[in-house]
Chain A
Amino acid sequence: MLSPENPLKNQAAPIGAADQDIDQSLKSLVDILLDIDADQTAKSSATARKVSPESWPPELMVLPPPPQPSVFSAKPLTLEPPQVHIKPPGQPPSSSTAKPPQQSEFLRQAQNDIRFVLGRLDEKVTRLERKIDQPTELINPLLPLITELLTLKHTESNHSLLQALVPLIDQVIQLRAQQDQAKMGAAIGDILPAAIAHQIQHSPAAIAKAIAPEIALSIQEQAQLDPEAIAQSLGPQMGEAIKNQILVEREAMVDALYPVIGNTISKYMVEVVKSINDKVEASLSPEGILRKVRARIRGVSEAELILQESVGFKVQAILLIHKASGLVMRDLQPASSFQIEADMLAGMLTAIRSFVSECMTQPDTDSELHQIEYNASKIVLEVAGYCYLAVIIKGEPSPAFIEKIRTTLGQIVLKSGKAIAYYDGDPGNIPASVDLCLDRLLAAEPKPAPAAKFPVGIAVLLGLILIPLGFFSYRSYVAHKVELKTADALDGVPELSVYRIVPKVEGSKLTLTGRLPNDALRQQAAVVAAQVAPNWPVANQILTVDVPADPTRIAGEVERVAWIFNQKPGVAIAAQHQFNSNSVDVTGIVADFQDSQQLTQALKKIPGLAKVTSTVQIRPVLESQIYFDLNSAQVEASNLARLRSIRQFLDQNPSVALKIIGHSDPTGEQSRNQQLSRERARNVQQVLITEGISPTRLQVQVSDQLPPSITPQQPLRLSRSVRFEVFIPVQKRE
């Protein structure tokens, strides 16, 4: 018999001449079905439609009852041969008397017709069956028929056809698509949306499950090509699917959607702001004007906005942080500002974020930490995918800058989302394009806007009232600006940044208040303030307090000064505070003489410290390099003197360690070069070890680059070298 697995096979199609015949039969079959459907619809009330299939007389079960989608769609158009065989054509139905009265004569007639047609069909099928051994050959001729049926009938009774065909479409599409894509597309294109809509209504969860995994990927792809279009075409039906996907793999989803949603939201916000502005504009009634005046007097709203734009702000740090682990992937801090402990801060921020999302969240919603404010600074957090940006800003950032943070993160996630997702703690694995984006963000710093614009109309209307007020408010924001600038400048001086000095404009003077441990520092603060604000007389109200020498505090300040200096390029120092003698020994290297001077000065200014001993060396000692012959890693005897002086340096600076970096010239095979570079560095290390330096202070490294300051135009022998870098192996920095 026919295989039951393939419904198409059961409707076996004739080949050649029989084709037309069976075509006709199927068509009339469908016609009858539709008629019944129409008839039924006309006659039965809504409740009648709910009659369960069981209550139908048994012989009617031969026909799937049209108004029952569940039965119908389960066995669509399959016309199973066994059922037909049970009731061969011609044999009258045994229980016809049991029919409910509302089953019309017509129905009975139709039923007979169908039996007749089916009987013929079955005959043909069995006849054909023998001829056909290739199942595909059997299906192929049937396809044009189905295609035609689809185009023919869907307009007449979309609903019933849909129910019948949904389960079939799958197979048909697959087969047909292989043969004639264009035709197939045209044929089913019309009803496909309806079919999908039907299915979505029917079992949204299943559809969501089915398509969800693909969505994130395809959106990401499309977002790269055309973010606008995708935002528009993300129809409401996607809701379910997206929800499901968010449950399954949240981060990937956020990554995918971030660039789109960011844009959409900001567009929306622009509209909202515009409408608010319009309203404000429109409300220039007498009351409106009064409100405006009051607002100005209290210094809120408009004034605040103007302030924001004119005062300016300063980015102190930009950290790109791995969301789950809190590890810092990038840490940008302008050299001038006080250096923030990025690793600790990032860890703490991450913990706080976790805390917020774990403990502050109501079910089914998300809490996200956006800002942390302290003193005059704030940390702005922007999250996307597997990372977030923490931007530490002094002053009030402009909305444009916040927007810039957002777009920067969008770009980073889009370009490097993968490397970020798999971050393993090595910043070297984050692509350099990230640096580019972040540098641009840092460079996008604030130029204080010129004085704020006033709408001419309002200016004319309020002219008289506003002149004094405007003057007042202008003065107040200029004053604020001066205060911020002064505070910044004071922060920029290492020895002062440790203390809290408050610059404040009072009357026409710039007053400095706070406590400093000695007069030298007090004078210095006044000088700094005078430089920043030359037009403002400085009233120096800083108190010098005699701080009793507390050794822990001194040690702490020594450490802080050392730490600040260590942030400078070319500086690697260690400052050891001796509790007994209350003195400091400084060792290490600095870039130039000026650094060395500044360092001693800064340490001497620490109140209570008795003595500063500096054996800091200026870098050039270690600018010496060891050169090698072509294809050789042997350290020539001529270099020994040079290595001895390095040993001496290490002896004098016991807290300093050395990186020994091997290079090779760029010619030849890379693997061989690498090996040579390593051997060269190792051999130099060996010499120093024999000279008595502990191996733990000697780090060997290999570089596949030219040594810094060597260009490809210079002689090759200059790149066959080993060079040195000094560093302080940091034990602890709390």
Chain B
Amino acid sequence: MSVISKKICMVGDFGVGKTSLVRRFLDRQFSDHYLSTIGVKISRKLIPVPTDQDLQLIIWDIEGKTQFQSITPHYLEGAMGAVIVADLNRPETIEHIQSHIQLLTSVNSSTIPCLVALNKVDTITKSGQERSVIAELEVHPQVVTVCQTSAKTGQCVDQMFESLAQRLLEHHHARTSERS
């Protein structure tokens, strides 16, 4: 029995924690050391599906957008889902979420499911001011959910990837049954 593979992309500004989130999800590890990603790092994760074909996530961790360099649209091609990451401590990274989604939908099908990860929640002392942002993002048609994550503590990381996997499977089966 074969495995279904889906490409997903980690998208966001530099240093928001894309690589750290992937590392937490795959290796259950975290490091304070910042090593900026250059180009793309690809990893994979098998999600066993007890009742059906297993799902394999091919995760493209893409270098972050900086002031001088935008995201290479080619890297986003063929993605079936995406995690848009922002840093709760850097408001501008949250503002950029919309444009990342826009880039994704322009390169791929406009129905691509996106997950928003507002990361580094462990560093926030008082909470609440991000609520309006979350509310706004949650009504976006492409956004599946908005999670407040921490690659450091692992908060919400697994749930986030799993809900994206869930959505990918639903998408897949909807499309397959359409075709047959």
Contacts and interface: CB of A to CB of B under 8 A. Distances in A.
A733 B176 CA distance: 29
B57 to A, nearest CB: 10
Contact of B7 (A327, A357, A428): A327
A327 B72 contact: no
Given A354-B74, A424-B175, A698 B50 contact: yes
B83 to A, nearest CB: 16
B172 A354 contact: no
Given A344-B42, A424-B175, A698-B50, A326 B56 contact: no
Interface in B30-89: 39-40, 42-46, 48-51, 53-54, 56, 58, 60, 72, 74-75, 77-80
A699 B43 contact: no
Contacts of B39: 351, 355
B51 A700 contact: yes
Interface stretch (A498-506, A626-634, A724-732): A724-732
Contacts of A438: none
A314 interface: no
B4 to A, nearest CB: 5
B78 A343 contact: no
B44 A344 contact: yes
Contact of B53 (A355, A426, A696): A426
A328 interface: yes
A425 interface: yes
Interface string B1-17: 11011110000000000
A348 B42 contact: yes
A325 interface: yes
Contacts of B26: 732, 734
A729 B44 contact: no
B58 to A, nearest CB: 6
Contacts of B77: 324-325, 354
B136 interface: no
Contacts of A354: 72, 74-75, 77
A351 B60 contact: yes
Contact of B46 (A325, A348, A426, A730): A730
Contact of A343 (B56, B72, B80, B176): B56
Contacts of B74: 354-355, 357-358
B1 A358 contact: no
B51 A351 contact: no
Contacts of A322: 78
Given A343-B56, A426-B4, A426-B172, A327 B78 contact: yes
A229 B163 CA distance: 54
Contacts of A734: 26-27, 43
Nearest to B60: A347
Contact of B176 (A347, A351, A424, A698): A424
A686 interface: no
B103 to A, nearest CB: 14
A358 B72 contact: yes
A695 interface: yes
A348 B60 CA distance: 9
B5 A327 contact: yes
A699 B78 contact: no
A458 to B, nearest CB: 50
B60 A731 contact: no
A657 B56 CA distance: 17
B58 A347 contact: yes
Contacts of B56: 343
A323 B7 CA distance: 12
A729 B46 contact: yes
Contacts of B72: 354-355, 358
A398 to B, nearest CB: 32
Contact of A696 (B1, B6, B7, B50): B50
A731 B78 contact: no
A729 B43 CA distance: 17
Given A425-B4, A699-B51, A732-B26, A325 B45 contact: no
A343 B58 contact: yes
A323 to B, nearest CB: 8
A153 interface: no
Contact of B45 (A348, A659, A698, A732): A732
B78 A347 contact: no
A58 to B, nearest CB: 56
Given A424-B175, A729-B46, A326 B58 contact: yes
Contact of B78 (A325, A348, A700, A729): A325
A451 B53 CA distance: 51
A286 B123 CA distance: 81
Given A425-B172, A734-B43, A325 B80 contact: yes
B5 A696 contact: no
A700 B5 contact: no
Nearest to A324: B78
A197 B49 CA distance: 62
Given A343-B56, A424-B176, A425-B6, A351 B46 contact: no
Contacts of B80: 325, 424-425
A326 B60 CA distance: 10
A659 B43 CA distance: 26
Interface in A242-298: none
B1 A659 contact: yes
12 contacts: A328-B5, A344-B42, A344-B44, A354-B77, A424-B4, A426-B53, A426-B176, A428-B2, A698-B50, A700-B51, A701-B1, A734-B43
Which 3 interchain pairs have the tightest Cβ spacing? A325-B78, A324-B78, A354-B74
Given A326-B78, A327-B7, A354-B77, 19 more contacts: A325-B79, A326-B7, A327-B78, A347-B42, A347-B58, A351-B42, A354-B72, A355-B39, A424-B4, A425-B4, A427-B2, A696-B48, A696-B50, A699-B51, A700-B50, A700-B51, A729-B48, A730-B46, A732-B27
